[in-house]
Chain A
């Protein structure tokens, strides 16, 4: 029988347990067996993943199979699935926030064997399905990896922070605090100003088309004969109109009521005189 001196990479590892470790059983307590060669290669790099990762769960559904990869602290570090109708040769793995976490390499005919396990969840332990160390890339959770909103949405990569609706964000350089006398570092700072929206009524009512720009009275022009006086409001928008209290014995009266102003002349009406 001819011997291939330098077999191709996948051919060389196909009859081995790779990408699983040499010491694993590939059989779980229920007798579910991962056949050698089911996977041809793997590269695992979930954020927060440790050195020893394993195939923790295989969930077979009516229309898809999902593989879960875990470690000692989290059995669902990442997962990837394929459609039973169209098995792929590469299964991308993502974590709970849909971040890329690795890839499992196989072939459609090999990977399709998992559907024979029957519908349900098939769990494995570390000793049964640990991946080879060379396939695992520990990715510690250092630094800020994302911005997580209260509703669970995670922003990663290049993220925009946009001030809106009365909030303005800007960039500043700030000194680091708590340096115990050491020279302070200059840090990039995001400043958040809440300044409100002076035209909030317009903003709230414009979209439904309920807002109409008012035509405000900006000044009152008084004219007497050829004399014209223009009165603008004070800082509060108020104009004061009053009778001439410098003139003795004036009969003119100006006073306010709930709706506006009454102008009258003090005196008796003709009915009373009669």
Chain B
């Protein structure tokens, strides 16, 4: 039967592992350690470390961690010492009756749908963490060395894959876009008053949609203008009053379900006060300091400790005739 010369060569040498990390003093028969892994177990392999793998070709390696057998099934478990990949081994499955030079391609990703969460709390998009292929040698030879229920486990330095068989595409493309908004500036109370209380943490970044992939459209919202320059391959996002979706009639929440502080007198998400909740001017004269001047026949007495101003229309200083003083209004403000 015609066979690939490339595979034939490899099943007689360490490749795809670095010389000295496998196939050292292989016993004539019987069980082997990983360092003694016979050359004819594996004929070829190749790996692609993914966009989110944080793999570094100068620092990290990929290695065969374990070969195990359960009944007629043999598992080849590859791992990487790249921290992100370590908990996600790549396992190739063979049946003891599989033909020589059987090929299998495997992709390893965090299980679940888009943006699944791993045990470590990190979340990942659908992109594979890493992928690879494996070409195995003679399964009879493997079966002869590995009894049912047995396994061969790597020790440090064993079964390291040739680095040139790894294509590292970490951070080479834009894998996905995650959206978030920083917190808005939130109102605080003045001295002596209680600060507003929100029913959610404030002062944090609020994550929004995660793993936005595919053909992504950038849409101008309120007061936003987009300039697209095909020649320069650029998009400029400008703040322009009334552009895009126009001016908003209501506040735009920084995250879904954002609410005003508890017990707020209005619907302002940042807390604070509406224009009609603060005296900004009297008779059109604005603050912050407003002066009440007592003219002829009037005296103004301030009681700051009571937040009180007494305006006394007492006619003092006026040349008056006797008449009913009750016609003159007396006002008091506080």
Contact = CB atoms under 8 A, between A and B. Distances in A.
Interface of A: 5-11, 19, 41-43, 45, 47, 88, 90-92, 99-103, 105, 135, 137, 139, 143-147, 155-165, 167-172, 174, 176, 185, 187-200, 202-203, 206, 212-224, 232-244, 247, 249-254, 256-270, 272-274
Interface stretch (B67-75, B97-105, B221-229): B221-229
Interface of B: 9-10, 12-15, 19, 51-52, 55-58, 125, 162-182, 184-191, 193, 205, 208-209, 212-224, 226, 237, 239-240, 244-245, 248, 251-254, 268, 270, 272-273, 275-285, 287-298, 300, 311, 313, 315, 317-320, 327-334
B329 to A, nearest CB: 6
Nearest to B315: A265
Contact of A220 (B186, B220, B333): B333
Contacts of B332: 222-224
A137 B168 CA distance: 11
A187 B216 contact: yes
9 contacts: A143-B173, A146-B174, A158-B125, A158-B177, A158-B178, A160-B180, A170-B181, A199-B187, A218-B278
B175 A92 contact: no
Contacts of A163: 179-182, 254
Nearest to B251: A195
A90 B58 contact: yes
Contact of B319 (A218, A222, A241, A269): A269
Closest 7 CB pairs of A and B: A264-B295, A273-B319, A265-B297, A237-B280, A171-B209, A260-B291, A193-B221
A145 B313 CA distance: 78
A99 B172 contact: yes
Contacts of B315: 265
A164 B219 contact: no
B177 A159 contact: yes
Given A163-B182, A198-B185, 17 more contacts: A90-B57, A103-B164, A144-B174, A147-B174, A158-B176, A158-B177, A161-B178, A163-B180, A193-B223, A198-B270, A199-B272, A216-B278, A237-B276, A250-B327, A251-B328, A259-B285, A260-B292
B290 A264 contact: no
B278 A162 contact: no
Given A157-B174, A216-B273, A236-B275, A263 B293 contact: yes
Contact of A272 (B275, B313, B319, B334): B319
The interface centre, meaning the residue of B125, B172, B218, B334 with most chain A CB atoms within 10 A of its CB, is: B172
A205 to B, nearest CB: 11
A79 B283 CA distance: 73
